Structure 1
């Protein structure tokens, strides 16, 4: 029987266990989009995960919605990320890059005073972080139809850069109410052209982006993240038919032969809601490997893999203070608590200084 600690493959990527380090924005990059100088150490400390999915990474300067988040659109960024992938591989880990465009969840100060872009001119709520502190997202402008090919081109270039940086694959971030998810939801997409209206039209851009990225990296090294019932980011309303809409999205993605589908099963940072929405219908529609995410503990994770609910389980916040999370899960050892004051921004403190059990890192 497959267990949480069984080796296997996800797409073309071999994994040593079924534990995934989920994407975690830590806001430690510089304003040129270069990852923190501590990032190689940070990710390598966590390389005992079966798979690491990096923090969300901007595909272009236009894609940026928060200050101090990394990018993958310049040569310097490729060099910086290559150091990280090499350290993770030396430590025996596998790592994929999450490709991100925040869309309307952004502030004009991050775009030289220009408004962020979105499917439709609908302002987001909540707050984003700028160099001057928290601010409400700016009113976006709707992308013109003839601009959409350039968005796809940006994803393609980012995928090429990720490949050059030595990543084992990429994950297309189509979740959490960011740009691709804004196209999917009828609450944020009021377009009347080929990218709005029907479910087919609203799922068109995420599908076209993923297909283009798969053509670069190979489909069996590409995953996609979806979040049908997450509304926290930008106070974004849910789609009017989450099951039908996201099932169709998963079905379309399933035609590409991708490595995996990664679903946030509930409200981000909320309770696990794996049984309150028919996530298995998405999994069946997709037809491939499935990563489950959202407030899983050891008991839930072990059961989910043993029963076939998921092929892998992604853990987010527990990885902040537990670089050796796999070892702790295996040993049923206590988990360290992270210091929320150092979750975002700063340097080494609260980033690379959490000890492994007995003061020994997972890969020493």
Structure 2
């Protein structure tokens, strides 16, 4: 077993052009504490400041457009008001010595018409119903049947990502992460289970990967590739009951290889099923990392020793933790000391105010 002094997990490095104080990342966590215009609550300033000891904070999934929204009370990054709401958050993290990037999000078919402008249908690569529920002001509701995007609309979609990337830069982030995971829009294009198109964005793996690559390329033009990351989830079906791709190793391996050629900051992979135990037998994540060729952030079900081993072995350059960061704002120090972790109650995850958001004690305070 590695000791703290021997392991790389607690040592500084750089992820692309982004300096990180340790190899522990805070995974993006939807907390549903914005208003319905997508402006963050001021409580987010304290929330992110409290967690700035993470080597890298990947801020919660943030809508690139009104069309991209699939859940009530989630933040946006497509208006000047959104920029002003996020600026004090990034300033607080930087003043506390942390680094923070923003995850760019379009949910695609995982939405409801009452979350869309003028009650419009959500959009998707193909008109295929999503399963599960989405959180609206009426509570949890099944997603609305989506409409298929017309080919001529896709250039505008890429422009929405470009605009969001520009706004994130104005808001003071250190970079962005493009969300190509968890069954949302860009992964809907990637998987043959949700993409039945017959134009240049459907059919072959190369065509299905086209939109994610176009989006990441556009975002990298704004930021520089070494400040852009991408999140993937090859084996997750949890959101929208999204069926797996028929050949995930080939499909995601191809995309990772193409992304690697762009010189991105990192690839961030959810290993196994979202919100479930870490299970890697059905997919070779080492091969995914090799195909990408750059820095790799591993996620899902990691504990302290697994994270130490992943970094020490070279499997990962960083390990991201999600739910543990909710109840443990000082998670890095708790892991460093091998101290007990507080398990935040599930009812604190989404919506509400300071309770269950900014009121969790640090180890020393407790």
Q: TM-score range by the shorter chain?
A: over 0.9
Find the residue that maps to 2:268 and give its secondary structure. Answer: strand
Distance 1:318 1:225 in 2: 19
| 1:282 shift after superposition | 1.0
Q: Secondary structure of 2:10's match? A: coil
5+ long unaligned stretches in structure 1: none
TM-score with structure 2 setting the length: 0.97
1:85 and 2:114 matched: no
- 1:202-217, aligned counterparts within 5 Å? 202-217=208-223
- Match for residue 50 of structure 1 among 47, 55, 59: 55
Provide the rounded CA distance (Å) in 1 between the counterparts of 2:210 and 2:357.
38
Counterpart position of 1:10: 15
* Cα offset, 1:148, TM superposition: 0.0
Give the Cα–Cα distance (whole angstroms) in 1 for the partners of residues 343 and 205 of structure 2: 42
Correspondence for 2:40: 35
1:285 aligned to 2:300?
A: no
Q: 1:281: Cα distance to partner?
A: 1.0
Aligned position for 1:334: 340
Instruction: Give the whole-Å Cα distance in 1 for the aligned partners of 2:49 and 2:42.
Output: 13
Tell me if 1:171 matches 2:177.
yes
SS at 2:364 equivalent: helix
Residue 275 of structure 1 deviates from its aligned partner by: 4.2
Give the direction of change, closer, same or farther, for the CA distance of 1:139–1:105 in structure 2 (3 Å limit).
Answer: same
SS of corresponding position for 2:14: strand
- Tell me by how many angstroms 1:6 deviates: 1.1
Correspondent of 1:297 among 279, 282, 303: 303
Which residue number in structure 2 is paired with residue 349 of structure 1? Answer: 355
Instruction: Report the 3-state secondary structure (helix = DSSP H, G, I; strand = E; otherwise coil) of the residue aligned with 1:353.
Output: coil
Instruction: Specify the alignment match of 1:186 in structure 2.
Output: 192
Does the aligned pair in 1 maintain the 2:7–2:308 contact within 8 Å?
no
Q: Which residue in 2 is equivalent to 1:234?
A: 240
C-alpha deviation, 1:21, in angstroms: 0.1
For 2:212 and 2:282, the matched residues in 1 are separated by 25
The answer to whether 1:101 aligns with 2:106 is: yes
Q: Which residue of 1 aligns with 2:320?
A: 314
- For the residue of structure 1 that corresponds to 2:230, the secondary structure is strand
Q: Number of matched residues?
A: 360
Task: Give the match for residue 246 of structure 1.
Answer: 252
Which secondary structure state, in structure 2, belongs to the residue aligned with residue 155 of structure 1?
Answer: helix
* Pairing 1:120-131 to 2, within 5 Å after superposition: 120-131=126-137
Could you tell which deviates more after superposition, 43-52 or 274-283? Answer: 274-283
Pairwise CA distance, 1:340: 1.1
What is the rounded CA distance, in whole Å, between the counterparts of 2:10 and 2:282 in structure 1? 26
Matches within 5 A, 1:103-118: 103-111=108-116, 112-118=118-124
Separation in 2, partners of 1:331, 1:276: 33
Matched, 1:144 2:150: yes
- Residue 221 of structure 1 corresponds to 227
SS in 2 for 1:41: helix
Deviations 1:265-313 (A, max 9, x none): 0111100123441011111111100000001000110110011110000
In 2, the alpha carbon distance for the partners of 1:260 and 1:152 equals 21
Determine whether 1:73 maps to 2:58.
Answer: no
Offset of residue 2 of structure 1: 5.8
- Aligned pair 1:154/2:160, yes or no? yes
User: Normalization by structure 1: what TM-score?
Assistant: 0.98
What is the rounded CA distance, in whole Å, between the counterparts of 1:356 and 1:162 in structure 2? 29
Q: 1:144 to 1:30 in 2, by over 3 A?
A: same
